[in-house]
Amino acid sequence: MLYDLAVILPVYNEEGCITDVIHSWHRMLKENTINFKMIILNDGSKDATAKALEQFSSFPEIQIINKKNSGHGPTILTGYWQAVREAIWVFQCDSDNEMKPDSFVKLWQQRENYDALFGIRTGRVQNWLRKIISAVSRMTVYAFCGKGVSDVNVPYRLIRSSVLEGIINQIPEDTFAPNVIISAALTKMKARLWECPVDYQPRQTGKSLASIKAFKAAFKAFRQTGECLSRMKYNQGEIRGV
């Protein structure tokens, strides 16, 4: 069965909010009569996340994948590789409840005219380090591919599977920030892009990366992004799958 939409939710240590997050997304998708599948990837959580996810095992639209910890980026890629084979459209959102499902319909209603649709985080408050990381991520993409996606790492993105597949097939499985590379590739191939504001609220549960870890992670992401984009193959304005 080919779904209209596959929703990817990577999860790590989100016992405090994951039940509400999944219920809210499932309810919104059902209310809008979308033929969908939710792929929930538990990235080796050390808290009670796996236990909280058990209640969704009987939901026919939800697949729970409990995997060894590999990090946020590799987990997203695992979801993408499965989703492009099972649905026409792929949507990725984080599971920390910072960006809610309310705005998804805006993207879904506009999808036929575009290849990729992005939420732009409004009301986002960042510390100085996060601001620097976001700015450098954006400048890295601009340097390689020019201006295209405003929020290059936003975890609120709807992409055609036929477009996404050729990109992710060229991204190494251990990549720290694949969404940055995907944004860059979509810009480079001059894909039809659409952006709209999406409300953002700071996480109420779980933890973000500490400053030093965030800085090291950002450096790794910048290096991997440059290496991957320099190798990526294009053919007549489109990503060529491998």
Q: What are the tens digits of pLDDT across the range 34-51? A: 999 999 999 999 999 999
Question: What is residue 241's predicted lDDT score, i.e. its pLDDT?
Answer: 44
User: Which CATH homologous superfamily contains domain 3-239?
Assistant: Spore Coat Polysaccharide Biosynthesis Protein SpsA; Chain A (3.90.550.10)
Question: What is residue 147's predicted lDDT score, i.e. its pLDDT?
Answer: 67
Closest CA to 189 of 173, 165, 154: 165
Q: What H or E segment, with its residue span, contains residue 187? A: helix 178-188
Confidence of residue 104 (pLDDT cuts 50, 70, 90): very high
pLDDT tens column, 206-241? 555 555 666 676 667 777 877 887 888 865 456 654
Among 7-11, 50-54, 179-183, 197-201, name the one with the lowest average pLDDT: 197-201
Question: What is residue 79's predicted lDDT score, i.e. its pLDDT?
Answer: 98
Structure tokens at 208: 């973000």
Among 47-51, 60-64, 82-86, 142-146, name the one with the lowest average pLDDT: 142-146
Q: What H or E segment, with its residue span, contains residue 83? A: helix 72-86
pLDDT at 184 over 90: no
**Count of beta carbons in the 10 Å neighbourhood of residue 109:** 10
Domain boundaries, the chain: 3-239
Give yes or no for a contact between 204 and 17, defined as CB atoms under 8 angstroms apart: yes
Round to whole Å and give the CA distance between 177 and 218: 9
Among 80-94, 96-110, 125-139, 188-202, name the one with the lowest average pLDDT: 125-139
